[in-house]
Amino acid sequence: MGTHFYYRITDGVRITVRPSYRPDRSRPAQGQFVFAYAVRIENVGAQSAQLLSRRWLIHDSLRGDNRVEGAGVVGLQPTLPPGGVHEYESFCELRSPSGYMEGQYHFVRADGSAFDADIPRFVLEADGASGRAS
């Protein structure tokens, strides 16, 4: 199983995502495919920035698109000074063995200016899930 990283820099914020299929938490026969994704958010700009909210598009090749919005990430609204990093891991569940996610984090800088940092589209692919029973 290969490890894929996806990254994008927007307005001085670098977002890196590493998704992985979780066969130990999935039940392919019941149409339940669980994916974990590790996110690293780095402030490579010159000003502090606080992450206030997130907006996700989750695409399931069987169910189509689902949009999710909310405050912060995993219950936090971290402030990142220049050079600061925030990392977290989360999960999503699909009904099919493939899909993708993408979105934006909404930030406010120390000077009051706001911007959306793009979360790169990353592929969710269940390795071998459709070809064999667990």
Taking only the tens place, the pLDDT of each residue in 100-128 is: 999 999 999 989 999 999 999 999 999 86
> Looking at residue 3, what is its pLDDT?
67
- Low-confidence stretches of the chain (pLDDT < 50) are 1, 130-134
Q: Phi first, then psi: give them for residue 26, nearest 5 degrees.
A: -100, 155
Provide, for the chain, the percentages of residues in helix, strand and coil under a 3-state DSSP scheme, each rounded to the nearest 5.
5, 65, 30
- Please tell me the predicted confidence (pLDDT) of residue 28: 96
Strand pairing partners for 123? 100
Partners of 80 in beta bridges: 49
The pLDDT, as a whole number, for residue 1 is: 43
Beta strands in 22-128 (DSSP E): 33-43, 49-60, 64-71, 79-80, 85-94, 98-109, 114-125
